[in-house]
Structure 1
C-alpha cells in the first residue's frame, strides 16, 4: 500500500500589501449580477468560455471575497499557464464582494445548501457547460454540495481546508460561548489560523484581520459566518467494492484535497480524505504552511493545480517541475 508523504514547502511572505497590492486586482475580467431563486449573486468572469473546455469556478472562504482569496494565486506567473487554457468564474458569496450594500434588517441569508443551488442558474446564464471547482473552507463546502447535486456539471474539484461535517454538540457549545466572549473578527481569525499562528502575529495575520474588519460589511459577514456555522453534514461515503453507484453518496469526479500542516483544518481534511474514492482522490499536505496556502504559497499550489488538470486530460503539454504527490489510500490518516 503506497505511503502518503508530506510535501515539503517553505512558507513565504504573503502577497497582500504594499507594492504587491496589484496582485489583488482583477485582470481581463467582467462582472455580472445574476438573479437566482435565493437572491442576486455577484460573479466575475475572467476570460471567455473556450469551446468545450470546462471553466474554473472559484468560491472563497468566510472573511474573504474572490479578490482577497484567489487573486494572489491567479495573478501569479506560474498560474498563467492554466488561465490561458481556461476561463475563470469567481463567485462572491452574497454580500461579500467589494462595495457590497448592507443587507436590510431581517434579511434571510441563504443556507449553505441554497448557496450551492444558486450556482447552476449562474452557469447557465453565462453559458458555462462544466466546471473545475476550486474552493476554500466554506467555498469548498459549497462546491462539494454542487458536485453532489449536479455531478454532470463538475469535472473536478480542488478543495482547500474542506470540512464536510456539521458542528457537533461540543463544537456548537464552544462556538456559542466564543460568540458571547469574542468578536466576529476573532472568531473568523480562529477559523483560518491556529492559536499558535495567531500568537506569532505575522504580516498575513495583521493584514487579514484588517481586511475582515474593514473591507466587508460586518452585518453581511456575520450572516455568511452564521450560515457556515449551521451547515449540515454532507454524508459522503467511501465507495465499497460490490455496491452499485446508486447505493452510496460520494463524489464521482477527480478531487485534489489541499491543506497546510499548520492549518486548523487538518483533521477535517483527513476525515474528508477517508470518505472519498481513493482511486480518484489526491491529498496534498503542505509542510510549514498555515491556513491560506493559496495566498502564501501560490507558486506551489499553481504547480499542483497544473498536475491535477493534466491528470484530467487537459493541458497535456504543460511544463512541470518536480512536486511530490501521492494517491490517498485507506491508511492516509494514520500516516499523517
Structure 2
C-alpha cells in the first residue's frame, strides 16, 4: 500500500520524466491534498496551487470508517453499486445526484461509467493511503506559493477548506465558496470558476486581460488579494458565489 508521501514522490517522478521545472498544480479532493503536500515538500517545483475541495487534516472518524467500508467492499465485491453510491455522495450535491422525482444528471451518469472503468485494487489502495494521511496545518503556515481554493458548500470537505484558508498566508491565498455544489466544482458548476481563475492566472502573466492592470495591483506576482476575488469585485451580488443556468 503506498503512503501519501510515496504518492507525492510519484508526482516528482512524472515531472522529472517529462523534464518539467516549476509547474502550476491543480487537484481535486484527495488529489488536492497530495499536491499541497508536494508543494510543501518540493517548494521550488510549484508555481501555484489551484485546489478544489481540499482536505488538509487527518481523516475524521466518520471519513476513516467510510473509507474502510468502501475498501473492504472493493476487496470482496469490486466496484459494486454501494461503493459507487458512496463515492458519488462524496463527489456531488443531492441536486445533481437526483431523487425519486428527478433523474440523475448527465455528469453523475458519466461518473458512474468512469468508476466502472477503474481497477478496484487501485481505488482500494488509494483510499487506504488517504486514510493514513496526516494533518498539514502547521506546514501550511510556511507555504508561500499562491493558492486559489474552490469548495462547494455541500462538500464533506467544506470545513477542511475553511480551516486550510485560515492557516494559509492571506497575502498569497484566496477562497471561493460555491453555493448548491458538492466537492467536484470543476464538473458541477465550472462556470463559477472562470472569473476567479482569470484573476489568479493574471498574476502569473498566464492570462492577458482586456483591461490593463496596474503594477501595484494585488494581481502582481508577489501577492494575491482575497478581496479581489470576492463576489462584489467580480460583479456578483450573491455571496458566496452561486452560478445557475436557467
Q: What TM-score do you get using the length of structure 1 for normalisation? A: 0.54
Q: Does 1:318 align with 2:222?
A: no
Separation of aligned partners in 2, 1:220 and 1:170: 22
**Cα distance, 1:175 vs structure 2:** 4.5
1:308 Cα deviation after fit: 0.5
Distance 1:225 1:171 in 2: 10
Distance in 1 (CA, whole Å) between partners of 2:71 and 2:180 is 30
Q: Offset at 1:258? A: 0.4
Q: Is the 8 A contact 1:193 1:264 kept in 2?
A: no
Are 2:161 and 1:304 equivalent residues in the alignment? Answer: no
Instruction: List alignment gaps of at least 5 residues for structure 2.
Output: 74-80, 212-227, 232-238, 241-246
Match of 2:124 in 1: 222
1:224 and 1:158 map into 2 onto residues whose CA distance is 21
- CA change 1:119–1:178 in 2 (3 A) is closer
| 2:111 maps to which of 200, 208, 214 | 208
Mapping for residues 166-177 of structure 1, pairs under 5 Å = 166-173=58-65, 175-176=67-68
- Partner residue of 1:157? 49
More strand by share: 1
How far did 1:238 drift? Answer: 6.2
What is the CA-CA distance between 1:207 and the residue it aligns to? 2.5
Q: CA 1:134–1:178 in 2, change beyond 3 Å: closer, same or farther?
A: closer
How far residue 180 of structure 1 moved from its aligned partner, in angstroms, is: 6.5
Q: CA deviation at 1:197?
A: 5.2
Q: Which moved more, 1:194-203 or 1:160-169?
A: 194-203
Cα pair distance change 1:225/1:311, threshold 3 Å: same
- SS of the counterpart of 1:118? helix
Q: Which runs of 5+ in 1 are unaligned?
A: 1-108, 240-249, 328-334
Q: Which moved more, 1:274-283 or 1:112-121?
A: 112-121
2:92 matched to which residue of 1? 193
Distance (whole Å) between structure 2 residues aligned to residue 199 and residue 282 of structure 1: 31
Spell out, residue by residue over 1:173-210, the C-alpha distance to the aligned partner (whole angstroms, 9 max, x if none): 45545666883223322321355654543332232123
TM-score, normalised with respect to structure 2? 0.72
Partner residue in 2 for 1:100? none
Quote how far apart the aligned CAs of 1:291 are: 2.5
Relative contact order, higher structure (CA 8 A, sep 6+): 1
Q: Are 2:56 and 2:160, in contact at CA under 8 Å, matched by a contact in 1?
A: yes
Contact 2:137 2:164 in 1 (8 A): no
CA displacement, residues 86-119 of structure 1 (integer Å, 9 cap, x when unaligned): xxxxxxxxxxxxxxxxxxxxxxx32222111112
Distance 2:18 2:58 in 1: 32
Measure, in 2, the Cα distance between the counterparts of 1:291 and 1:125.
31
2:15 counterpart residue number: 123
